[in-house]
Amino acid sequence: MMELYQDNKRLNEQLLQACTQREFRPPNDIHRFRSISLSPSDSISQPGVASTTKIHQPANRPSRYPRQILWNIEDCRDDPDINLTRGNKSRPSMERAIRHADGSLINKGVWRSIRSTASHIVNERLLTLKRPSAAPSSAKQNSRKYLKKYFPSKWDDAISSLEEQEPLVALCASHWKAEHVLGTVLRDKGLNVQDANSDAESDTVEVTATTDLTVSSKRPRSPTIEDSPQKKRKGKEKATVDPDLSDVSVNPPPPASTASGPHITALSDALNLNQLGSNEKSRPDINIKFINVNPSIDNLKVAITQDLKISCGVQLLDAMLAKSDLMPSLPPSAQLQDLLTQIETADPANPLFSEDNIDAQWGHYQFRHGLDNFTYSDVTWNNVGSIDIACRLLAACIKTCKVARFLCFEKNITASGYVADHYLQTIVENLWKDWKPTEQSEPAPGPANSTTTQAEPSTSDQHVQQLDPATANTSSENASALLSIATNSDTVIRDRLKANDLKTWVVEHGITMTSKKTAPTKEELIIAILNASPSLTPSEDDISTIIENRKNKAKLVASKTTKKP
């Protein structure tokens, strides 16, 4: 059944991509090939070759396109879906920057097709180029700057080919989208790797264990490597290139050796795992195959109460067990299935996971980057569908929590909290809040009913909001309302508070940071606050006070500035 679902999903994505290419041909498209008529130098075995002429779009956005198409790279600064920060003003996420002709976002299937096409072009046209004699040994090979300087015609050919095969990439001025996509792929394939055609003395690749592979360390996003220069460091461990990894062409059949099951998972597609070549930066082997979680309800209860101490987990599992006959067994939604597959198949040994997405932060990427922007906070019974899928989802979440602890143990990291625990807590609370089977039948009278429908929480099961013991016997509706207080706290904090606000809050309340960085990112500050005691999470009143104090401080600074002669 799962194999049929994956095949159907793949075919739908290919159909969508084919329709997209037919509907949205780039404007001012020109014929790129020589005439098919034969000249003295032509023959049937020598067809016309691609010209280096590129599509040149106007500098100003044509009126037929909306502003959301991001015609110029400067337009990204004002687009709400890009979320540029000070650290990546010139490196927008290309998955969100490439748009349809009507300005709408592309889906993951279209983006994977564009990445695959770009990877094929880079492999065939750019990575095979030998270093010219005019290039100094210090020149960084396989970068945009290097190729544009020493192989300008080859670079133009690559841009032209990408825009022809993926018309959406051509909807911009100055080819900035195509250049950024090719730069991203070059960065993936050429980061810290010696040229295979040079006189390399060693077969090993020097890498930095703490190198951040994401677009920006300020906001961990999809593990996509952008083409920004990185400094080499000495004295770090060396990782050999896996000879079993090889480049593949556009849309190849998946090799049996690369698949962990009957199908290629959504996460491996999203991370472009099948595009990994011998140039990829590798990470020391991390074996997590021995970490498994039985999805039975009894086993989940032990893990949730004794190992992880997730609040309201016992109540949820007991209710699921007692009312399983009333719960309809429906298939999960496509978004939920995709998220579940990502969580189940994620592997920290994958080199494209950045340092901000492993160790104590393990789970951050796979819980927040689902199909159609579906995340952990969107999990409800409507998209879960059945108790069996719910148990499987909880087992996958618990495994993620255990893997995070194992990674920290292996690296001798003392973590004050784990981000996966927060995601598991939110999913449990959402399912408990959304639990409906108890409303489908009238409860039987008698004192025994109150003890059979819900189990008393164990002494080790502490509520995330530190509820008063007197509320333990309240109705399930009141308990659900109390349990849902913290469900969206991370979203509220992220949207309304700035990094400086969070840093001040952490210092004033003595919250221990998981990361040992001197300048933690906003995401790390949020994780530290949410993993601390619930009483240290800022309330609505606290947030309003923080914002008011920030505004008053800004007014004070402005008044002092204007008074200076």
The answer, yes or no, to whether residue 71 has pLDDT greater than 90, is: yes
Q: What is the pLDDT of residue 355?
A: 76
Does one domain contain both 64 and 134?
yes
Residue 488: partners with Cβ closer than 8 Å, 6 or more residues away: 377
Structure tokens, 543: 């947030």
Residue 160 lies in a domain: yes
Q: What H or E segment, with its residue span, contains residue 324?
A: none
**Residue 533: its pLDDT value, please?**
72
| Range with the poorest average pLDDT among 6-10, 315-319, 346-350, 477-481 | 477-481
Angle at 274 between CA 269 and CA 280, to 5 degrees: 115
Residues 9 and 153 in one domain: yes
For residues 519-537, give the mean pLDDT: 78
User: 76 and 130: one domain?
Assistant: yes
pLDDT > 80? residue 101 = yes
Residue 323 has pLDDT above 60, yes or no: yes
Indicate whether 258 belongs to any domain: yes
Same domain, yes or no, for 454 and 475?
yes
If asked whether residues 494 and 440 sit together in one domain, one would say no
| Single residue among 422, 457, 487 that ends a domain in this structure | 487
Kindly report, residue by residue over 185-213, the tens digit of the pLDDT: 888 776 434 333 443 333 333 333 333 33
3-state secondary structure of 454: coil
Q: Does residue 43 sit within a domain?
A: no
pLDDT confidence bin for 158, thresholds 50/70/90: very high
- The reply to whether 75 and 132 lie within a common domain is yes
CB 9 within 8 A of CB 264: no
- 368's tokens: 């927040």
SS (H, E, C) 120-184: HHHHHHHCCCCCCCCCCCCCCCCCHHHHHHHCHHHHHHHHHHHHHHCHHHHCCCCCHHHHHHHHH
Among 453, 487, 521, residue at a domain's last position: 487
Residues near 361 by beta carbon (within 8 Å), at least 6 away in sequence:
220, 404, 419, 514, 524, 527
Q: Which residue has the higher pLDDT, 231 or 551?
A: 551
CA 201 centroid distance within chain: 37
Q: Tens digit of pLDDT for each residue in 165-175?
A: 999 999 999 99
> Higher confidence at residue 560 or residue 339?
339
Query: Is residue 286 domain-resident?
Result: no
Percent of the chain with pLDDT over 70: 61
Q: Are residues 269 and 307 in the same domain?
A: no
For the segment 472-520, what is each residue's pLDDT rounded down to a tens digit? 333 334 333 333 333 345 667 777 888 888 888 888 888 887 666 677 8
Position 558 pLDDT exceeds 70: yes
**Residue, of 423 and 221, whose pLDDT is higher:** 423
Indicate if 470 and 503 belong to the same structural domain.
Answer: no
The DSSP call for residue 307 is: I
320: confidence class by pLDDT, cuts 50, 70, 90: confident
- Structural domain contains residue 167: yes
Token match 């606290």: residue? 542
Residue among 111, 72, 167, 2 nearest 373 (CA) = 111
Structural domain containing residue 513: 490-563
Provide the pLDDT confidence category of residue 162 given band limits of 50, 70 and 90: very high
Question: What value does the mean pLDDT take over residues 251-278?
Answer: 40
> CA 467, CA 473: separation in Å to the nearest integer?
12
Is 134 in the same domain as 266? yes
Residue 99: which pLDDT band, with cuts at 50, 70 and 90?
very high
> Could you give the C-alpha distances from 242 to 237, 282, 285, in angstroms and in order?
16, 8, 11
Rounded-to-integer distance, Cα 79 and Cα 518, Å: 31
What pLDDT, on the 0 to 100 scale, is given for residue 401?
92
User: What's the total number of domains in the chain?
Assistant: 3
User: pLDDT for 221-231, tens place per residue?
Assistant: 444 433 444 44
CB 72 within 8 A of CB 172: yes
**Inside any domain, residue 44:** no
Domain boundary residue among 487, 507, 523?
A: 487
Asked whether residue 270 falls in the same domain as residue 330, the answer is no
Mean predicted lDDT score pLDDT of the chain: 69
* 144 or 98, which is more confident: 98
Q: In this predicted model, which residue has the larger pLDDT, 79 or 445?
A: 79
Residue 6, pLDDT > 50, answer: yes
Cα pseudo-dihedral 499, 500, 503, 509, rounded to 10? -120
Say whether pLDDT at 366 is over 50.
yes
Q: Is residue 345 part of a domain?
A: yes
Question: What pLDDT, on a 0 to 100 scale, did the predictor assign at position 66?
Answer: 92
What's residue 62's pLDDT? 92
Does the pLDDT at position 246 exceed 70? Answer: no
| Between 294 and 256, the higher pLDDT residue | 294
The pLDDT, as a whole number, for residue 370 is 73
pLDDT value at position 239? 39
Q: Is 239 helix (H, G, I), strand (E, B) or coil?
A: strand
How many C-beta neighbours within 10 Å does residue 288 have? 16
Section 36-56 average pLDDT: 44
Residues 20 and 87 in one domain: yes
pLDDT score of 5: 65
Q: What is the mean pLDDT of residues 270-276?
A: 41
Q: Is 282 a member of any domain?
A: no
The arithmetic mean of pLDDT across residues 288-295, rounded, is: 86
Lowest-confidence range among 278-282, 300-304, 369-373?
A: 278-282
- Same domain for 375 and 409, yes or no, is yes
Torsion angle, alpha carbons of 172, 173, 175, 177, to 10? -40
Q: What is the pLDDT of residue 485?
A: 39
Which residue has better confidence, 252 or 390? 390
Mean pLDDT for the stretch of residues 97-111: 90
Cα(73)–Cα(173) distance, rounded to whole angstroms? 8
